[in-house]
Amino acid sequence: MSCFVAVPDCSECQLQRTDATVTRMPEGQQGILEPVQLNGALRELIEVVRTADLDGVDLTAAIARVRALRDDLAPLVVPGIRMQSCLVFDDAAVEQAQGGADGPAPPAEPRSENPSEFFPYSPLVGPLNPVSPPATMRRVAVDDRFEIHGEATFTSAFNGPPDCVHGGVVAALFDELLGCACVVNGIGGYTGTLTVVYRTPTPLGTALTLRGWVDRRERRKVFAAGTIHSGDTLCAQAEGIFVQSENLRNPTDQPGLTTTS
């Protein structure tokens, strides 16, 4: 889990291709080329490259075109501390991210019910990250607390066993799922431990159903769990302990969550 600050307005990222450069779109003419669409196009390209038989093919021209696009966009690269929640942030956010022995603090509370909105650069749910599937997750009220429910479909780029998702990718998805369950309950923290039990192979190209929830709190430790299903089949389940940083806004009493002193 990473530091949470304000999510940038995607309208600031609208770009226009000219003969040799990429320039900012004038206000009122934005939306021609969305950053989300660009990331989606890159995912499509990755899938084609991953599944194409390229042996003996002259790729010189293709490589040149890809590198030309890279060179066009390179002037827009913003240096700084990388975060899931934002690309550009102010001095106060930088100070928060750099300060303290605990380092950048995970989000204590979300500004949205949708993890893809408060973590737009996430490698699992981020629409602005080209390596993200991206999984879809949302906050759902269940009894007196919130859970994370969602869906994910993995392409060949995430392949491990034959026609299945790599086990490490499954673990990463659980890390995000359980971490977001903590966040939407206002008790985000760093991943302390994550235990994954693989029940059956997780298939590629299949809509998977995700569920994550918080079980209880013990001082700074938050215990969360989750499942991944393919239809009615349980593919994997996980339990995690997330440790709240001292520089988080920790609610003393969280409705629906058992706290052990």
Domain-wise residue ranges, the chain: 109-260
Distances (CA, A) of 258 to 109, 193, 206, 214, 219: 18, 20, 36, 10, 10
**Per-residue H/E/C for 141-209:** EECCEEEEEEEECCCHHHECCCCEECHHHHHHHHHHHHHHHHHHCCCCCEEEEEEEEECCCCECCCCEE
* 187 contact partners, CB below 8 Å, separation of at least 6: 108, 214, 217, 222, 242, 244, 250, 251, 254, 257
pLDDT at residue number 69: 96
pLDDT at residue number 39: 96
pLDDT in tens, 208-250: 999 999 999 998 999 999 999 999 999 999 999 999 987 554 4
User: What's the CA angle centered on 227, arms 221 and 228, to 5 degrees?
Assistant: 140
pLDDT at residue number 144: 87
Buried b (16+ CB within 10 A) or exposed e, 71-105: eeeeeeeeeeeebbbbbebeeebeebbeeeeeebb
CB atoms within 10 A of CB 38: 15
pLDDT at residue number 81: 84
pLDDT in tens, 169-195: 999 999 999 999 999 999 999 999 999
Considering the segment(s) 109-260 as one domain, its CATH architecture is Roll (3.10)
Q: pLDDT per position in the chain (261 positions), as tens?
A: 333 222 334 333 333 333 334 445 555 445 545 899 999 999 999 999 999 999 999 999 999 999 999 999 999 998 888 888 887 665 554 454 444 434 444 455 555 678 998 899 999 999 999 999 999 999 999 998 999 999 999 999 999 999 999 999 999 999 999 999 999 999 999 999 999 999 999 999 999 999 999 999 998 999 999 999 999 999 999 999 999 987 554 444 444 454 443
> How many alpha carbons fall within 13 Å on the CB side of residue 192?
15
pLDDT at residue number 31: 52
pTM: 0.78
Q: Is the peptide bond before 79 cis (omega within 30 degrees of 0)?
A: no
